[in-house]
């Protein structure tokens, strides 16, 4: 145990220089152009890693150090900035090699038995495995959250309400009208129209490049809901493909006013 205590004290006393050694060793083994700020950040993070490694190897605890999980989540947050998880995952193998070399040298210096050294390296590999799993899991969660935020932002900017006259708004539909956009319109746009006192909606489809048959049905349901609210609907910019899709799905457009483009629809109010 004295040998492990000596190694623990060495790690804690030299955590800064060891962190720099780990980062430099990893950089030398990779063919990556890593900016200076990221290298400095990696050094700071490995100072933390060496610190709780020094404490963990003499703690005789079997559970995963909480600090390791926190450290791994920080790694995931850094990766999420550029969205490329592979740039971090590829660093784990050389990190193992560098740390194993450091611990082997310390084991020889402080007369660690072969059994103790094997156990120590096994502990470190276990910690790195846990760290990698936690990093990947946290990264996937962050990506999901970012994608959800991006969907909300995209829905907001691509489905705006544009007032053009008293009680008349234009609803420009742009891009891919998917199930999320449909749900957003139901949950957010319909209440807004009621609050604004809208009595006529001009739905412009000229910017739509993708709309499947299932969502055509949902759009039709939104139209029916608007009519029940006493709001008239005018459709513009319907492409031949979209018109054919509506007919194939049995959607009756005879009760709606339809114009070839938004300009003609607006002129009809003059």
pLDDT in tens, 202-249: 999 888 877 787 888 888 888 888 888 888 999 998 888 888 888 887
Alpha-carbon torsion, ordered 141, 146, 147, 153, to 10 deg: 150
Set out the domains of the chain in order of their start, with CATH numbers.
2-152 (1.10.490), 159-267 (3.30.750.24)
pLDDT per residue over 24-57, tens digit each? 998 888 776 777 887 888 888 888 888 888 888 8
Environment class of 139 (CB within 10 Å of its CB; exposed 0-12, middle 13-18, buried 19+): buried
pLDDT per residue over 133-160, tens digit each? 888 888 888 877 777 777 676 666 667 7
d(C-alpha 206, C-alpha 215), whole Å: 16
Residues 6+ apart with CB under 8 A from 105: none
In a 3-state reduction of DSSP, which class is residue 80? coil
Tokens of 176: 């891919």
Q: Which has the closest alpha carbon to 51: 93, 90, 13, 25?
A: 13
Contact between 258 and 240 (Cβ < 8 Å): no
Task: Evaluate if pTM is beyond 0.85.
Answer: no
Model pLDDT, residue 195: 82
């Amino acid at each position: 145990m004295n040998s492990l205590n000596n190694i623990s004290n060495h790690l804690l006393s030299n955590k800064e220089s060891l962190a720099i050694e780990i980062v430099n060793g990893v950089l030398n083994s990779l063919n990556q152009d890593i900016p200076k700020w990221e290298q400095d950040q990696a050094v700071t993070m490995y100072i933390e890693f060496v610190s709780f490694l020094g404490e963990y190897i003499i703690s005789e605890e079997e559970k995963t150090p909480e600090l390791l999980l926190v450290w791994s989540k920080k790694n995931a947050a850094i990766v999420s900035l550029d969205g490329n998880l592979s740039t971090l995952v590829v660093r784990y193998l050389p990190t193992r090699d560098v740390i194993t070399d450091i611990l082997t040298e310390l084991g020889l210096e402080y007369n660690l038995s072969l059994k103790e050294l094997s156990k120590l390296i096994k502990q470190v590999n276990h910690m790195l495995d846990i760290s990698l799993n936690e990093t990947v899991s946290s990264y996937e969660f962050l990506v999901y959250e970012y994608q959800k935020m991006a969907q909300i932002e995209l829905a907001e900017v691509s489905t705006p309400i544009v007032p053009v006259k008293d009680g008349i708004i234009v609803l420009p539909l742009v891009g891919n009208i998917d199930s999320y956009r449909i749900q957003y319109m139901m949950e957010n746009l319909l209440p807004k129209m009621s609050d604004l006192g809208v009595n006529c909606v001009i739905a412009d489809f000229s910017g739509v490049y993708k709309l499947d048959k299932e969502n055509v049905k949902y759009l039709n349901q939104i139209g029916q809901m608007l009519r029940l609210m006493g709001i008239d609907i005018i459709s513009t910019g319907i492409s031949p493909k979209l018109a054919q899709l509506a007919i194939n799905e049995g959607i009756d457009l005879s009760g709606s006013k339809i114009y070839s483009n938004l300009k003609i629809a607006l002129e009809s109010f003059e």
